[in-house]
């Protein structure tokens, strides 16, 4: 038997290793197969390397926080430093140009080659771990858990591949060096889905219900099943594009059964079959109108879901932990924070997305409410603002707006020493301050004309508050707040969506009941309708806002086939604040931030990378490429 060499990204020779370090792995040594599976602790460290490689990413670490995030592959945000790599929204996506989904750019995501390299490692682990000697019952339990975790990671990895490409190459055994790779073919999307479900079933069988934080549990595997089936039950893989192509479409007539399976998978988690989870905060229908204090309390509750340290909150099913000394990096404040704090200002929310957040009473935000027909300009005198504060478009908005977006006038951290003279009040300044004669008195310290740093100021007029920690000085320190990869709100909305898509009044009402738990927790009134089309719009809007910036939207707008309607160019918000308190907000069509272009409906499926086709020409490419 060939003694293949495995690169262990950390060898931790203590059985009591905390899994707060499960993803904190560094390449320090290499061991052959016999050594790896001769000691349960080395096998555990080998599993740790597989965790670290989840997401197919490069130097920035695994899943979770990245310098460049999936939200900028949608209309949610703009990332100014490498915009050309967001090929999905640029009309430049090709088999030989996948932007962040390829290598050699740094910080790549979900890269085919990296994902399959990890699958090879996992296949080896699953095949060999049972041969690892154990001396105690505790070690025997650990060996079983390691196998369950390997099945979970493999299922997670194949789920990502399915959501990107449809049916892919399925392999559950380690490749041999003399294997004939020219005989390998892609499987259908239906077979790929079944393969993943089998892995999830094994994971649930072998995993415990309670685990150390950062490790997969039975609930994490069950929640992954819900995520997978939610995608598979959507319109895209059910005849939405090339319905007769088994690589990207399930057989005709499959959707009802897939929706029922998606419903049932979510319901198992909701019913507590694998552990008890709950939304963070009060899920009762709020008494309206909310006071300003109540709005901010709801906002803080939502914001703190993503600013947790230490023990998971009740909503977290699975996530990633960070520490100052980890090799995996969370620099959320440094990457996304305002330039007025010497941060990089990446992941800038677009004006179009900011307008999607509702008013505090649950009504739709309307830009031209006070000036019908003008969707670009708002003006308000000081006296008008005093009498009607919501003339300021950032007043009276729903709580999640204040937990997600940093806007002109939003309170934030204490300023660094060199910025205090420009802002003694610690409020975001994306606009400029003007004298009454129209001359500039002071440029906003968080703008692209900032007096302390201008190269990294916002182009859109906004910064992403979500995921940042107000206690971290991003200029000098990393974040240690956790990344929540799977949370209970996702399961509730998966369940609601499956029921609404199944149709019928009973299903619609049950779906809305679970959707409204998420809304009520956010301080918003519940939705009411008997119409399926309207209910569908409700659940899609809820996912859009609730999961803003978390990456879900990239998968959602593809599986719903709505991305083609969202490829509008971005323009910046220009704000003038006068010395007498008068205000002006203008969507500046002379300030085009980013050109967006839809390349065609074949974009809904990513192509197989050309480098893989070159190595294995028998692999069938996705349609349209």
Q: What is the pLDDT of residues 181-234, one digit of tens each?
A: 888 999 999 999 999 999 999 999 999 999 999 999 999 999 999 999 999 999
- Determine the pLDDT at residue 82: 83
Residue 45: predicted pLDDT:
94
Residue 546 confidence (pLDDT) above 90: yes
pLDDT (0 to 100) of residue 107? 62
Q: Beta strands 5-8 and 29-32: pairing type?
A: antiparallel
Write phi, then psi, for 561 (nearest 5 degrees): 60, 45
Radius of gyration of the chain (CA): 25
pLDDT surpassing 70 at residue 315: yes
pLDDT at residue 29, rounded to an integer: 39
pLDDT of 377 over the 50 cut: yes
- Looking at the DSSP bridge assignments, the partners of residue 442 are 433
- Comparing 97-111, 382-396, 431-445, 528-542, the range with the smallest average pLDDT is 97-111
Model pLDDT, residue 422: 97
How many C-beta neighbours within 10 Å does residue 523 have? 24
Of 55-64, 110-119, 191-200, 542-551, which gets the smallest average pLDDT? 55-64
Residue 281: phi and psi, rounded to 5, are 110, 180
Model pLDDT for residues 121-177, shown as the tens digit of each residue:
999 999 999 999 999 999 999 999 999 999 999 999 999 999 999 999 999 999 877
What pLDDT score was predicted for residue 27?
A: 34
Q: Is the pLDDT of residue 14 over 90?
A: no
Q: How far is 164 from 345, CA to CA, in rounded Å?
A: 28
Question: Binning pLDDT at 50, 70 and 90, where does residue 4 land?
Answer: very low
Q: What is the pLDDT of residues 420-445, one digit of tens each?
A: 999 999 999 999 999 999 999 999 99
pLDDT of residue 64: 72
pLDDT at 24: 37
Q: Tell me, what's the pLDDT at 25?
A: 36
Tell me the mean pLDDT in the region 578-583.
Answer: 98
How many Å apart are CA 472 and CA 88, to the nearest integer?
A: 33
Cα–Cα distance, 304 to 280 (Å, whole number): 9
The pLDDT of residue 5 is 43
With a cut of 60, say whether residue 235 has pLDDT above it. Answer: yes
DSSP conformation letters of 147-186: HHHHHHHHHHHHHHHHHHHSS-----SPPPTT--GGG--P
CATH of 33-69+94-275+604-615, one of 3.90.1150.10, 1.25.40.390, 3.40.50.150, 1.10.357.10: 1.25.40.390
Residues 6+ apart with CB under 8 A from 314: 277, 278, 279, 280, 488
Non-local (6+) Cβ contacts of 202 within 8 A are 147, 148, 151
Q: Give the model's confidence band at 105: pLDDT under 50 very low, under 70 low, under 90 confident, else very high.
A: low
Answer yes or no: is pLDDT of 337 > 50.
Answer: yes
The whole-number average pLDDT for the span 465-479 is 95
pLDDT higher than 70, residue 316: yes
pLDDT single digits (tens) 26-48: 332 356 788 999 999 999 999 99
**Banded pLDDT at 400 (limits 50, 70, 90):** very high
The H or E element spanning position 302 is: helix 292-305
DSSP states along 517-580:
HHHHHTT-PPP--S-HHHHHHHHHHHHHHHTTTSSHHHHHHHHTT-GGGS-PPEEEEEEEEETT
The CA distances from residue 388 to 290, 396, 398, 553, 596, in Å, are: 16, 10, 17, 34, 36
Measured distance CA(153)–CA(54) in Å, rounded: 7
Pinpoint the alpha helices (H) of 19-136: 33-36, 40-52, 112-128
Which pLDDT score, from 0 to 100, does residue 20 have?
A: 37
Residue 59 has pLDDT above 50, yes or no: no
Give the DSSP letter of residue 427: B
Structure tokens at 529: 């309708």
* pLDDT band, very low/low/confident/very high, at 553 (cuts 50, 70, 90): very high
Distance of alpha carbon 433 from alpha carbon 195, whole angstroms: 60
The closest alpha carbon to 216, from 290, 165, 157, belongs to 157
- Chain mean pLDDT for the chain: 92
Q: Which tens digits make up the pLDDT trace of 343-372?
A: 999 999 999 999 999 999 999 999 999 889
Residue that is written with structure tokens 């905390």 in the block: 18
pLDDT digits (tens, 9 = 90+) for 290-309: 999 999 999 999 999 999 99
The reported pLDDT for the residue numbered 160 is 95
pLDDT at 15: 29
The domain limits of the chain are: 33-69+94-275+604-615
Asked if residue 318 has pLDDT above 70, the reply is: yes
């Amino acid at each position: 038997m060939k003694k293949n060499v495995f690169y262990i990204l950390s060898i931790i020779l203590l059985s009591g290793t905390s899994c707060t370090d499960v993803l904190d792995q560094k390449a320090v040594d290499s061991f052959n197969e016999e050594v790896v599976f001769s000691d349960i602790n080395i096998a555990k460290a080998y599993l740790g390397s597989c965790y670290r490689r989840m997401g197919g990413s490069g130097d920035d670490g695994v899943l979770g926080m990245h310098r460049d995030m999936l939200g900028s592959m949608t209309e949610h945000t703009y990332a100014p430093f490498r915009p050309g790599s967001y090929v999905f929204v640029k009309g430049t996506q090709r088999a030989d140009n996948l932007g962040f989904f390829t290598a050699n750019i740094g910080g790549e995501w979900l890269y085919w080659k990296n994902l399959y390299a990890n699958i090879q490692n996992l296949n080896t682990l699953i095949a060999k771990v049972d041969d690892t000697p154990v001396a105690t019952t505790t070690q025997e339990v650990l060996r079983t858990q390691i196998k369950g975790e390997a099945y979970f990671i493999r299922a997670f990895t194949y789920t990502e591949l399915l959501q990107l490409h449809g049916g892919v190459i399925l392999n559950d055994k380690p490749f041999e060096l003399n294997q004939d790779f020219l005989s390998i073919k892609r499987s259908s999307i239906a077979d790929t889905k079944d393969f993943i479900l089998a892995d999830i079933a094994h994971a649930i069988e072998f995993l415990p219900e309670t685990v150390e934080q950062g490790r997969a549990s039975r609930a994490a595997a069950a929640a992954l099943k819900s995520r997978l089936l939610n995608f598979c039950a959507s319109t895209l893989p059910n005849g939405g594009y090339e319905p007769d192509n088994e690589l990207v479409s399930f057989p005709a007539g499959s959707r009802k059964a897939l929706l029922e399976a998606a419903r049932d998978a979510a319901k198992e988690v909701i019913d507590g079959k694998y552990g008890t989870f709950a939304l963070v905060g009060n899920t009762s229908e709020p008494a309206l109108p909310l006071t300003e204090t109540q709005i901010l309390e709801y906002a803080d509750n939502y914001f703190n879901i993503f600013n947790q340290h230490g023990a998971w909150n009740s909503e977290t099913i699975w996530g990633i932990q960070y520490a100052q000394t980890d090799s995996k990096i969370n620099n959320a404040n440094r990457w996304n924070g305002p330039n007025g704090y010497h941060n990089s200002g990446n992941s800038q929310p677009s004006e179009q997305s900011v307008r999607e957040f509702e008013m505090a009473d649950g009504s739709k935000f309307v830009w031209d409410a006070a000036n019908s027909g003008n969707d670009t300009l708002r003006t308000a005198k000081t006296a008008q603002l005093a009498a009607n504060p919501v003339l300021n478009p950032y007043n009276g908005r729903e709580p999640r707006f204040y937990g997600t977006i940093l806007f002109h006038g939003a309170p934030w951290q204490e300023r660094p020493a060199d910025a205090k003279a420009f802002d003694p009040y610690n409020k975001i300044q994306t606009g400029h301050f003007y004298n009454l004669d129209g001359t500039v008195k002071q440029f906003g310290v968080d703008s692209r004309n900032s007096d302390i740093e201008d190269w990294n100021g916002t182009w859109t007029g906004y910064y992403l508050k979500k995921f940042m920690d107000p206690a971290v000085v991003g200029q000098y320190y990393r974040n240690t707040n956790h990344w929540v990869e799977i949370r209970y709100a996702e399961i509730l909305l998966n369940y609601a969506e499956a029921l609404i898509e199944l149709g019928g009044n009973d299903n619609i009402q049950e779906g809305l009941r679970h959707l409204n738990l998420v809304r009520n927790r956010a301080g918003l009134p519940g939705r009411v309708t008997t119409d399926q089309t309207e209910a569908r719009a409700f659940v899609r809007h809820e996912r859009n806002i609730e999961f803003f910036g978390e990456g879900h939207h990239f998968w959602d707008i593809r599986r719903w086939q709505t991305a083609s309607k969202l490829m509008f160019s971005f323009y910046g918000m220009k704000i003038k604040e006068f010395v007498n308190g008068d205000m002006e907000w203008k969507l500046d069509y002379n300030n085009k931030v980013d050109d967006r272009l839809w390349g065609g409906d074949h974009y809904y499926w990513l192509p197989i990378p050309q480098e893989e086709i070159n190595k294995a020409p028998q692999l069938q490419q996705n349609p349209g490429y």
